[in-house]
Structure 1
Amino acid sequence: MEVLKVSAKSKPKSVAGALAAVLREKSSAEIQAVGAGAVNQAVKAIAIARGFVAPNGIDLIAIPAFSEIEIDGETRTAIKFIVEPR
């Protein structure tokens, strides 16, 4: 599964375009975000991506979950969204 990493500085429209491209190719993707700002940008990107793929008859769902990731040798808790067609 393709993993897209989102930061608080990520542009939601750019992330949405990448997400839509991955979904058209592989039909599921994972978005990882650490921190409130990054989660906010990720949720916006998912909403925008729904609009991008809707004309193709694809209705997206997002399943949130926690994930432990390592950043600079330190374990952090991330929110991951598994995005796939309904």
Structure 2
Amino acid sequence: MEVLKVSSGSNPNSVAGALAGVIRESDQAEVQAIGAGALNQAIKAIAIARGYVAPGGHDLVCIPAFTEVEINGSDRTGIKLIVKSR
């Protein structure tokens, strides 16, 4: 599954375009975010991507879960959003 990493400085439109491309190819993707700002950008990107792929017959659903990510040698808890087309 393709993993897209989002930060608080990510452009939601750019992430949405990447997410839409992955969804069109494989019908699912994982979006990872650490922190409230990054999660905000990720949710906005998913909402935008939903509009991008809807004309092609894709309806996006999002499944949130926790994940452990290693950053600079330390483990951090992040949110992973599994995005699937139904």
Cα deviation, 1:43-63, whole Å, max 9, x if unaligned, reads 000000000000011100000
- Structure 1 residue 28, shift from structure 2 partner: 0.6
Task: Please list every run of 5 or more consecutive structure 1 residues that lacks an aligned counterpart in the other structure.
Answer: none
Q: Distance in 2 between matches of 1:58 and 1:2?
A: 17
* Superposition TM-score, scaled by structure 2 size: 0.99
| Equivalent residue pairs, number | 86
Task: Please list every run of 5 or more consecutive structure 2 residues that lacks an aligned counterpart in the other structure.
Answer: none
**3-state SS of paired residue (1:8):** coil
Q: Does 1:72 align with 2:72?
A: yes
Cα deviation, 1:53-86, whole Å, max 9, x if unaligned, reads 0001110000000000100000000000000012
**3-state SS of paired residue (1:19):** helix
Q: Distance in 1 between matches of 2:60 and 2:26?
A: 13
Cα deviation, 1:6-58, whole Å, max 9, x if unaligned, reads 00000000000000000101111000000000000000000000000000111
Which aligned segments of 4 or more residues in structure 1 are displaced greater than 2 angstroms?
A: none
Q: How many percent identity over aligned positions?
A: 69
Query: Which amino acid is 1:41 matched to?
Result: Q
Q: Distance in 1 between matches of 2:28 and 2:55?
A: 18
